[in-house]
Structure 1
Amino acid sequence: MDTSRLDRYVSDKWDEDLIPQLSEFIRIPAKSPMFDPDWEKNGYMDEAVRLMEGWARQQPIEGIQVEVVRLEGRTPVILIEVPAFNGGSDEDCVLLYGHLDKQPEVTGWDDDKGPWKPVLQDGKLYGRGSADDGYAIYSSLGAIMALQDQGVPHSRCVLLIESCEESGSYDLPAYVEHLSDRIGTPSLVVCLDSGCGNYEQLWCTTSLRGMAGGNLKVEVLTEGVHSGDASGIIPSSFRLLRQLLSRIEDEDSGRILIDALHAAIPDERLEQARQAAEVVGSAVYDKFPLVDGLRPVSDDPAELILNRTWRPALSITGVDGLPSLDSAGNVLRTHTAVKLSLRLPPTIDGKRAGELLEEALTRDTPNGCKVTLELEKAATGWNAPALAPWLGKALDEGSREFFGKPPVFMGEGGSIPFMGLLGGKFPRAQFLITGVLGPHSNAHGPNEFLHIDMVKKVTACVAKVLAGHHHASQNGETGR
């Protein structure tokens, strides 16, 4: 394989074809079902599917088959099958994953930008879904085309692009089962929906946290009453909510108080966190838009990396029952409700975590108040299997050839439910989980962007890994 030629091909493909296609995708408000319950009626999801499906069908890939699969009552998936090329194996295969559903708009976008407005500026493509995760289908097929451009062999490849990842991938298990014969038994899974610590080298995700969360509501009255009349007699729903949250979280340190939600951190992950900390340093926290004077919870970057990858943590991501400041009267309110987002260590069972959370919050309610917890998510995380020598070699060579630096291995704080599902279904498979969500890229927030140079190099590295997989398959090193 001519590395320089592959690099040029990928760069040109992005500049001439993929960036314009991704820009059109950004314009479509294809919000995930959790944020658009009427997604079917609104039609934006189908519009995004048609855009990607139509583009994929036009690509000069030998033997490509593109199909939109729809199970009744479920969000659609795009299934793309690419047969083995130039002597590659059709028995061995690679599964490449991405998603096309998006997070909601949120506020705070720069005046010249917006969630559904593609803006190319300073080497970045701004817009919702650019880096999370609209680029995945384009990068995956771009890597395959780069190999075929040179006649480099690869094994059979299957792309699966889902449309409810941001809602917890609740439809995906049904599709994986429905399509199991067509997917086969992959010996390599590639997921392009993860993060990176910088834009200077390849970042390989070694673990993902799970999640348990939902809506916690505390009720004290059936209608609001004068606070001067009732305060001191009727407990505030906000105060009682604080008491309940103190059962599960230490308000001084943020430590989760339910012991069963903590997990032992493997020695290998401890060492990888230390190595990653040497690379990113203070960027592990100063990449965020901190207010003046704010300090992170630790001065040790390695501890911060472990906090966001292997330790449970609670965030309150929404609130109900509180009027805005300009309309708040002297009223003792009927209720306070918050949305809980509890991140879990990779090896903690998500379903059990949800049960423990519910038990802690709903037993012996303070002052006999009415407490309800509606669990929305209970997903188990993922911890990568031991890295096969062939994959380690391909990752190292790819990062050095296209970035000029070695790869870095680090866990991620987010969740990709598909990985836990596949890890259980294909226990002998290797995993390349990587992505372009680096400093300030702001997935889920305002001014989300795709770093163009980074996505080009990641695409080239994926091509390198696909070529390495073929050689490993030929030599019986992929475990098949």
Structure 2
Amino acid sequence: MTTTPDRLRAAIERELPGVRADLERLVRIPGIAFDGFDSAPLERSAHAVADLLRDLGLEVQVSRVGEGPPAVIGRHPAPPGAPTVLLYAHHDVQPTGDLSRWESDPFEPVERDGRLYGRGAADDKAGIMAHIAALRAFGCGTADDRLPVGVVVFVEGEEEFGSHDLPALLAEHRAELTSDVIVIADSGNWDIGVPALTTSLRGIVNCFVTVQVLESAVHSGMFGGAVPDALTTLCRLLATLHDADGDVAVEGLVRGQAAPLDYPVERFRSEAGLLDGVDLIGTGRIVDRLWTKPSISVLGVDGPRTAEAPNALLPEARAKISMRIAPGDDPESAYRALVAHLDKHAEWGARIGVTLEHDGSPCAIDATGKYFDAARAAFKTAWDGTDPVDIGVGGSIPFIATFREMFPRASILVTGVEDPYAKAHSPNESLHLGEFARVCLAEALLLHNVAAAGATT
């Protein structure tokens, strides 16, 4: 039987109830790769994914580097002369954070107003299940298997914790992962009802800055007024990272211009949850500020809790800084620029120490060619005639640079299931179920279109 877009649409509709049930089972597994969390759920998560792929008839292995988190690799051979597509997602999730801010148990999926709530429901267990749905639509694992391309499913287990082992995993399995097209299902769409391809992402530089002014704490009354305390000194130093408009004040960082896409301020304020009366920071278009200009955020400060703070001047204070860098910048040079800025602006002779936590490269993708055309056509069909847009993302997926280096001939398509209201990494993370259905259909159509495009080579 010939596979057509209409048949794929019907197949996705048929498979969606089972796909959702399996998604909910995955969401119930609290697989967190961060230090200090029980690793047993992460093992259960990996093996649950492996079982889903085995049910599709894929050759499956669970792989890891040393004692690192488990990744899952599943392979379905290509028909003669057909291209191969690598389907990426990750099965680990972010920690829940403050449970009191969740409206329901983060690991018990609940539907409210057409959205499925739960940690990982969007980021990125729905990405896994979009891959599963597309393969099921082609009858994988049945006697009626009609998959027109080769597929390698690669589901890693530590993306939220930095993908430290990913380069070694890719190197170890390079031969079996080599593909013509790589689909990275870990981004999002422009809006509900408007699909997108992500074509640029900012890089990241996370570090700790420590300020020291005293050998030990001293009485704030006896010495205050003449001796600086470390926390005040640190606050003044952190304040120099932005100018009066809120733009990053560190010299030597790359700044660019984003695609000509309108992002209305009121829409952005609503999506961010900005309180009434709070101003935005920075200058220029919203898309430039988010996608092609650097940003710096202070993620945390070490110091006494207010209820426990003595009347003493602190000898030392530390802050965690997260800097996002624009496409075209380099993490090493950006880190050096940040260190130089902190050294230059430290006041009162305070001793400054800066320690790099981790970094990752930005990327810009040339989204042209037959496989990108195949993806855009698939999206347009799945969204009932709505053309997809090319977007940037202010967040970072540093491993894309690793994929590009390891597989330079592959077309990399960055897609995803999230929408502006998904709240990934935040309390009450959720998945829009209507958009998820479109994502599943779009991926099935993408595989169909890639097969046709590959046949024209």
Q: What TM-score, normalized to structure 1?
A: 0.87
Say which of 165, 172, 181 aligns to 2:175.
181
Give 1:110-259 correspondences, 5 Å limit. Answer: 112-148=103-139, 153-184=147-178, 186-247=179-240, 249-259=241-251
CA deviation vs aligned residue, 1:5-56 (integer Å, no higher than 9, x gap):
32232233232x22222222222222222xx3455xx422112112211222
Q: Does 1:10 align with 2:1?
A: no
By how many angstroms is 1:446 displaced? 0.5
By how many angstroms is 1:314 displaced? 0.5
Q: Does 1:55 align with 2:48?
A: no
Unaligned runs of 5+ in 1: none
Say which of 297, 301, 307 aligns to 2:289.
307
* Partner residue, 2:253: 261
> What secondary structure, in the 3-state scheme, does the structure 2 residue paired with 1:56 have?
helix
Give the distance between the partners of 1:54 and 1:393, measured in 2 at CA.
30
Task: Tell me the amino acid that sits aligned with residue 313 of structure 1.
Answer: S
> What secondary structure, in the 3-state scheme, does the structure 1 residue paired with 2:124 have?
helix
* Partner residue, 2:90: 99
By how many angstroms is 1:365 displaced? 4.6
Question: Does structure 1 conserve the Cα–Cα contact (< 8 Å) formed by 2:78 and 2:151?
Answer: yes
By how many angstroms is 1:276 displaced? 4.7
Q: What is the percent sequence identity of the aligned residues? A: 28
By how many angstroms is 1:152 displaced? 5.0
Give the distance between the partners of 1:9 and 1:259, measured in 2 at CA.
54
By how many angstroms is 1:472 displaced? 1.4
Query: What is the root-mean-square deviation of aligned Cα atoms in Å?
Result: 2.4
Q: Does 1:289 align with 2:273?
A: yes
> What secondary structure, in the 3-state scheme, does the structure 2 residue paired with 1:199 have?
coil
Give the distance between the partners of 2:198 and 2:43, measured in 1 at CA.
31
Say which of 249, 271, 275 aligns to 2:261.
275
Give the distance between the partners of 1:236 and 1:58, measured in 2 at CA.
62
Give the distance between the partners of 1:397 and 1:136, measured in 2 at CA.
17
Give the distance between the partners of 1:298 and 1:259, measured in 2 at CA.
15
* Partner residue, 1:432: 413
* Partner residue, 1:23: 24
Task: Tell me the amino acid that sits aligned with residue 418 of structure 2.
Answer: L
Task: Tell me the amino acid that sits aligned with residue 307 of structure 1.
Answer: R
Q: 1:401 to 1:323 in 2, by over 3 A?
A: closer
As a proportion of its length, which structure holds more helix? 1
> What secondary structure, in the 3-state scheme, does the structure 1 residue paired with 2:252 have?
helix
Give the distance between the partners of 1:127 and 1:173, measured in 2 at CA.
30
Give 1:75-90 correspondences, 5 Å limit. Answer: 75-85=69-79, 89=82
> What secondary structure, in the 3-state scheme, does the structure 1 residue paired with 2:194 have?
coil
> What secondary structure, in the 3-state scheme, does the structure 2 residue paired with 1:19 have?
helix
Give the distance between the partners of 1:120 and 1:25, measured in 2 at CA.
15
Question: Does structure 2 conserve the Cα–Cα contact (< 8 Å) formed by 1:402 and 1:460?
Answer: no
Give the distance between the partners of 1:284 and 1:459, measured in 2 at CA.
27
Q: 1:177 to 1:4 in 2, by over 3 A?
A: same
By how many angstroms is 1:251 displaced? 4.1
Give the distance between the partners of 2:41 and 2:279, measured in 1 at CA.
41
Task: Tell me the amino acid that sits aligned with residue 43 of structure 1.
Answer: A
> What secondary structure, in the 3-state scheme, does the structure 1 residue paired with 2:32 have?
coil
Give the distance between the partners of 1:14 and 1:222, measured in 2 at CA.
63
> What secondary structure, in the 3-state scheme, does the structure 2 residue paired with 1:260 have?
coil
Does 152-161 or 169-178 show the bigger shift?
Answer: 152-161
Task: Tell me the amino acid that sits aligned with residue 160 of structure 2.
Answer: E
Q: 1:444 to 1:361 in 2, by over 3 A?
A: same
Q: 1:235 to 1:430 in 2, by over 3 A?
A: same
Q: What is the aligned length? A: 452
Q: Does 1:357 align with 2:343?
A: no
Give the distance between the partners of 2:266 and 2:401, measured in 1 at CA.
30
Say which of 41, 45, 51 aligns to 1:44.
41
Q: 1:234 to 1:12 in 2, by over 3 A?
A: farther
Question: Does structure 1 conserve the Cα–Cα contact (< 8 Å) formed by 2:193 and 2:383?
Answer: no
Question: Does structure 1 conserve the Cα–Cα contact (< 8 Å) formed by 2:33 and 2:69?
Answer: no
Does 360-369 or 443-452 show the bigger shift?
Answer: 360-369
By how many angstroms is 1:254 displaced? 2.5
Question: Does structure 2 conserve the Cα–Cα contact (< 8 Å) formed by 1:224 and 1:331?
Answer: yes
Does 144-153 or 156-165 show the bigger shift?
Answer: 144-153
Unaligned runs of 5+ in 2: none
CA deviation vs aligned residue, 1:225-259 (integer Å, no higher than 9, x gap):
32112211221212322343345x22422222233
Give the distance between the partners of 1:276 and 1:389, measured in 2 at CA.
27
Q: What TM-score, normalized to structure 2?
A: 0.91
Task: Tell me the amino acid that sits aligned with residue 97 of structure 1.
Answer: Y
Question: Does structure 1 conserve the Cα–Cα contact (< 8 Å) formed by 2:243 and 2:249?
Answer: no
> What secondary structure, in the 3-state scheme, does the structure 1 residue paired with 2:188 have?
coil
Task: Tell me the amino acid that sits aligned with residue 292 of structure 1.
Answer: D
* Partner residue, 1:348: 329
> What secondary structure, in the 3-state scheme, does the structure 2 residue paired with 1:442 have?
coil
Q: 1:299 to 1:399 in 2, by over 3 A?
A: farther
Task: Tell me the amino acid that sits aligned with residue 293 of structure 1.
Answer: G
Runs of 4+ residues deviating >6 angstroms: none
Task: Tell me the amino acid that sits aligned with residue 287 of structure 1.
Answer: E
Q: 1:288 to 1:75 in 2, by over 3 A?
A: same
Task: Tell me the amino acid that sits aligned with residue 58 of structure 1.
Answer: D
Give the distance between the partners of 2:99 and 2:93, measured in 1 at CA.
17
